[in-house]
Structure 1
Amino acid sequence: MTGPRRCAVLGHPVAHSLSPVLHGAAYAALGLDEWRYEVHDVTEDALPAFLDGLDGSWAGLSLTMPLKHAVLPLLDHVEPLAQVVGAVNTVLPHGEGARRTLTGANTDVHGIVAALGEAGVHGDVRRAAVLGAGATAASTLAALAQLGCTSPTVHVRSAARAGSLLRAAHRMGVEPVLRPLEAGAPELAVADVVVSTLPAHAPDALAAQLAGPVRGVLLDVAYDPRPTALAVAWERAGGTTVGGERMLLHQAVEQVRLMTGRPGPLGAMDDALQAALAPVR
């Protein structure tokens, strides 16, 4: 279809999302003047009706929590990586009416690998730790497997809520070891890579326990506040940190490629992200 195209980010809550900044900058750099990127607050219960209402003008959807799992049974096709991970953050509509199909993809894995790559992590990860057990944690397990670690420790607040993550790990051939979150500081200190997928402030108590030296790279997917308490403690203990906005950037670059069919303009999107995150003076 030619002419104006629509994309959007869906989630609940979603008003805080930086996806419009990133995708809008991409459209401007690519000369896609008739494309627009919207924000829709959509709950799990409202998701089926929203998807049913898509017409031929739609080129793509970005999904955030709590929709990454909920969308799976509503799709016609799921790309293999997203199927294995059990989480979709990108929906690509094709056609319209009775012939319309919805394909699900996962660009979070790409975003995590690329963000860690900025800190020099390109493979041969021996020891890794993950904080959290949600959809982003599942993507993190896939990313760590690509980087060489198939037996990370996963630190969770409730082992009873880790079932989906463990099933995803089994599909990937990954064998995580569950540990309680509150007792994680000693194992984090000796890890090559640590990825926190927890909401802002959730690991603050753990951050307070990081008194000794650490040697690895921390990617904290939370970026508000920036830096997080965990990132501050990690750097104070001698480690290297990667902000969650870097994962956000790289997964959005890949989304732009999937939605527009053109390479995502990393530089333009990065400039827009930095401007959006700059402190107000």
Structure 2
Amino acid sequence: MPPRATDARRAAVLGAPIAHSLSPVLHRAAYQALGLDGWSYDRFEVDEAGLPGFFEELGPEWAGLSLTMPLKRAVIPLLDEISETAASVDAVNTVLRTDDGRYLGDNTDIPGIVAALREHGIEQVDSAAVLGAGATASSALAALARVCTGEVVAYVRSDTRAAEMRQWGERLDIEVRTAGWDDAAEALHAPLVIATTPAGATDALATAVPERPVTLFDVLYDPWPTALAARWSMFGGAVVSGLDLLVHQAVLQVEQMTACAPAPLDVMRRAGERALAAR
């Protein structure tokens, strides 16, 4: 049953560092639009060592949590159940607290990537490239397993990372080939490129953008645009931003935590854009 507007419920985003997070802006905008006057959403700096203690303090007023690095895997032992989506990549970014005090884990990053691509008209591609090999890259592979019918090439910096990406491919039942970072310029010719690297890591690739690029999904949103995204747009390619991902995964979190659907996507996006513009 959807909550009453006067219900006093709490939610928050946890991580370390966390001061940069836009999640409070997005969720609070959703609560206001949905008329959930009694709901609050905060941010807390919590690392892996502090996470069990934080859970011990949670009371029945808590509806759920959003998790960012480094907590997406550390939280799993604290949960009573995780979804198949979260289990597929051993990563939880959403925790729901049930009325009987159980904790359920989910991953909204994966469907968030798929939704962001679909919003830009991308339902299916016959191949793709992934830049990077961290936790976000595994979620990207899981999303590509839903939209890519052919090979994915992952461009990584070490043999260890290459082995990890191939293992994720086997686990997710998607064909993954790996290549060295020195060859990353080749990735830019793929019909879909997903950049999962930290800020600055792809800047040197901007000069290698082809004359007719297709689609770039850059998971960063601050600073924005990245050098690669700016060059991509200049050459007429389609760009999906990290804000697109952040909003779509937050929409799913709001719907799960509040039982109010659909969440106000456009309202949340505009709130995020305003907050970024003010930084």
CA distance 1:163–1:50, change in 2 (3 Å): farther
Q: Give the number of equivalent residue pairs.
A: 274
| Distance in 1 (alpha carbons) for counterparts of 2:265 and 2:21 | 18
- Say yes or no: does 1:179 pair with 2:179: yes
Aligned to 1:111: 112
User: Contact 1:114–1:250 (CA<8 Å) still a contact in 2?
Assistant: yes
Structure 1 residue 235 displacement after superposition: 2.3
Aligned to 2:153: 153
CA distance 1:12–1:166, change in 2 (3 Å): farther
Opposite residue 139 of structure 2, the aligned amino acid is: S
CA distance 1:164–1:187, change in 2 (3 Å): closer
| Distance in 1 (alpha carbons) for counterparts of 2:127 and 2:167 | 21
Aligned to 2:192: 193
Aligned to 2:244: 246
Give unpaired runs (5+ residues) of structure 2. Answer: none
How do 1:67-216 residues align onto structure 2 when only pairs under 5 Å count? 67-95=71-99, 100-123=101-124, 125-149=125-149, 151-161=151-161, 164-189=164-189, 191-210=190-209, 212-216=210-214
How do 1:59-70 residues align onto structure 2 when only pairs under 5 Å count? 59-70=63-74
Aligned to 2:268: 269
| Distance in 2 (alpha carbons) for counterparts of 1:134 and 1:51 | 26
| Distance in 1 (alpha carbons) for counterparts of 2:277 and 2:239 | 18
CA distance 1:162–1:260, change in 2 (3 Å): farther
User: Contact 2:16–2:45 (CA<8 Å) still a contact in 1?
Assistant: yes
Task: Please state whether the residue corresponding to 1:160 is helix, strand or coil.
Answer: helix
- Say yes or no: does 1:51 pair with 2:55: yes
Opposite residue 239 of structure 1, the aligned amino acid is: G
CA distance 1:39–1:162, change in 2 (3 Å): farther
Aligned to 2:20: 16
Q: Deviations over 1:91-142 (max 9, x none)?
A: 11124xxx5211110111121112112321012x111011111221111111
> Percent identity over the alignment?
50
User: Contact 2:202–2:228 (CA<8 Å) still a contact in 1?
Assistant: yes
Structure 1 residue 146 displacement after superposition: 0.9
CA distance 1:164–1:4, change in 2 (3 Å): farther
| Distance in 2 (alpha carbons) for counterparts of 1:251 and 1:213 | 32
CA distance 1:23–1:207, change in 2 (3 Å): same
Aligned to 2:256: 258
Task: Please state whether the residue corresponding to 1:234 is helix, strand or coil.
Answer: helix
Aligned to 1:26: 30
Structure 1 residue 261 displacement after superposition: 0.6
Would you identify which runs of 4 or more consecutive aligned residues in structure 1 move more than 6 Å?
Answer: none
User: Contact 2:154–2:165 (CA<8 Å) still a contact in 1?
Assistant: no
User: Contact 1:196–1:221 (CA<8 Å) still a contact in 2?
Assistant: yes
| Distance in 1 (alpha carbons) for counterparts of 2:56 and 2:149 | 40
Give the structure-1-normalised TM-score. Answer: 0.91
